[in-house]
Amino acid sequence: MTRVIVNLDYVKERNTSTVFKAIVDNGSISRIQIARQCGLAAGSVGRITRQLMDNGLIREVELQESVRGRKATSLSPVVDRIQILAARIGRTHIHIGLCDLSGTLLAEHSIPVAALNQQDLSNQIIQELKKFLVLHKSRFNRIIGIGLTAPGLINSASGVISYMPHLQVDNLPLADQIAKALGYPCYLANFTASMALAESNLGATNCYQNSLLINVHNGVGMGMILDNQLYEGSSLAVGEIGHIQIDPLGEHCYCGNIGCLETLVSNSAIEQKYHQITTARKTSSTAIPLNILEICKAANSGDELAQIVLKKAASDLGRAIALSVNLLRPDCIALGGEICTAAEFVLPVIQRCIETQSVSVSSGHTPDLVCAKLYDSPWYGGFALVRRALLEKGLLLKLLETTPNI
């Protein structure tokens, strides 16, 4: 006879989180619908929803007419009951935002990065978060956690940064440092991966089960949502699409390889290419360099050279995306970055690459290609990390046990 050992604490945590997630995701749902959707007994749903109501996390709303004519009370989340503090460490700025559970931004602040080393970075982010808490004290209700994103190689399970492209770090345990300094649990992950989760929760890929987010900025990164879960892998280097070799005879990349996608498609690479051509055409070195937004604006205004440069970058990017389609077969691909301001020239080229350079499935379906919605809201990556911890990773039960009637 086989003995089955059941971890009751795990079951309780899973069921409570599953019920709350169903209410948050649906916005309004009856207890009967929760039981069907979550595969739970009506009694279990009743006990869990009572606990959530007692803690002010959900409430009963308008009555719905059922098929049989009986009325069922709907439940909806109280989105302003708890709040999330989110921050992004960029190469030049730290962006901080305060959101409620729905993702509504309540306050925001941006500060230039002054760090010269990892200790400076830790000190600055901690001090800026503390200043933000003081500055916006009147806005706070109940902060449940801090979500933090950064570029580079990050172990989200341990909250340790092992590599950043613009600052030398040596296994920086930033999440633990922030949690100890501010007294809130801190969740840390790669920026692009976290933004892929945010787009899946609130943005352009919300209705897709499998999606990719491709961010083009200082580099090129990819975040993957597979079966509605953020894929982070068992190692740190996941989604490094920017280091796929596109030109074997190309330029050296900082990673040590030659002809990586980032050497052709990052903002600086596009800017450099445009400047090189304009300088050569004017047979002088006095041409004024344009930044990526100005190049996109020029393309939109009919500048043929700008259009050619952007289309070439889109073609190189499309090759790498087509490879990713062959490997992962996503339902949707979202493109983020300043390059999206010239989407009418960029997206058709990428779409054509996908159609001609990836394997066609029997239905002939290719992934939808869209622009990301949340690129200009960098704090949403950190928001998504805390939201995931609350709805899927056990943070909810910890809150209910340690802070009754939150």
Give the pLDDT confidence of 39-73 residue by residue, as tens digits: 999 999 999 999 999 999 999 987 655 556 566 68
Residue 27 CB neighbours (<10 A):
13
Beta-strand runs (E) in 176-331: 186-190, 211-216, 220-226, 229-230
Name which of 211-220, 231-240, 242-251 the model is least confident about.
Answer: 231-240
Cα–chain center distance at 239: 13
Q: What is the mean pLDDT of residues 371-375?
A: 96
Span 207-371 CATH architecture: 2-Layer Sandwich (3.30)
Cα torsion 196, 323, 327, 204: sign:
positive
pLDDT cut 90: percent of the chain above it: 79
* Owner of token pair 């706070």: 140
The answer, yes or no, to whether residue 286 has pLDDT greater than 60, is no
CA distance 315 to 350: 6
CA distances in angstroms from 262 to 231, 235, 249, 359, listed in the order given: 22, 21, 14, 24
For residue 379, what are its two tokens? 């704090």
Cross-sheet strand order for the sheet of 220-226:
229-230, 220-226, 211-216, 332-337, 368-371
Strand spans (E) along 124-179: 143-150, 153-155, 160-163
Residue 355 confidence (pLDDT): 93
Residues belonging to the chain: 406
- Kindly provide the residue ranges of all beta strands, DSSP E only, lying in 101-239, ordered along the sequence: 105-112, 143-150, 153-155, 160-163, 186-190, 211-216, 220-226, 229-230
Task: Please identify, in words, the CATH class of the domain defined by 83-197+379-402.
Answer: alpha beta
pLDDT at 195 over 80: yes
Q: Is the pLDDT of residue 218 over 60?
A: yes
**CATH topology assigned to domain 8-77:** Arc Repressor Mutant, subunit A (1.10.10)
| CA–CA separation, 123 and 378 (whole Å) | 21
* Torsion angle of the four alpha carbons 66, 72, 73, 74, in this order, in degrees rounded to the nearest 10: -40
What are the sequence ranges of the domains in the chain? Answer: 8-77, 83-197+379-402, 207-371
Please give the Cα distance from 230 to 390 (Å, whole number).
15
Question: Would you say the CATH fold of 83-197+379-402 matches that of 8-77?
Answer: no
